Amino acid sequence: MSAVPEFTSQNFDEAVAQGVTLIDFWAEWCGPCKMIAPMIDELSAEYDGKVKVGKINIDNEPDLAVRFNVNSIPTLLIIRDGEEAKRFIGVTSKSDIAAALDGAAE
């Protein structure tokens, strides 16, 4: 079980309003989502205090998936001060995500 918190429609806007946030759009039935889950957990630990990390289950939060035009999963968004800064679709390397987080956090 992941230590990364789930974002919902109720807490999303407040969670991403300030600073840098990494969002993992996923679903329980998605094999590639399960493949990257440990990496998301690692990034959450490594960027603790610098970047917020959260997951959005598209089956539970379809409105957020529609809002961000998520058509395939996994989709990772980096949001800076409430605005999308970077998007990754599909399995992405940890180093690519870390580089994007470093750039957004500057």
Task: Tell me if 2 is assigned to some domain.
Answer: no
> Which CATH number does the domain housing residue 90 bear?
3.40.30.10
- Region of 88 please: left (phi>0), alpha (psi -120 to 50) or beta: beta
Residue with tokens 């996923």: 26
Q: Is the confidence at residue 105, as pLDDT, over 90? A: no
| Threshold 0.85, pTM exceeds | yes
pLDDT at position 15 over 80: yes
| Residue 1's pLDDT band (cuts 50, 70, 90) | very low
> Does 46 reside within a domain?
yes
What letters, b where the CB count within 10 A reaches 16 and e where it falls short, cover 4-37? beebeeeebeebbeeebbbbbbbeeebeebeebb
Q: Which domain holds residue 17?
A: 12-105
CA of 101: how far to CAs of 18, 75, 77, 94, 97, in Å? Answer: 14, 15, 10, 10, 6
Active-site positions read 30, 33
Per-residue pLDDT of 44-100, as tens digits, reads: 999 999 999 999 999 999 999 999 999 999 999 999 999 999 999 999 999 999 999
Q: Classify residue 53: in a domain, yes or no.
A: yes
> What confidence score (pLDDT) does residue 106 get?
77
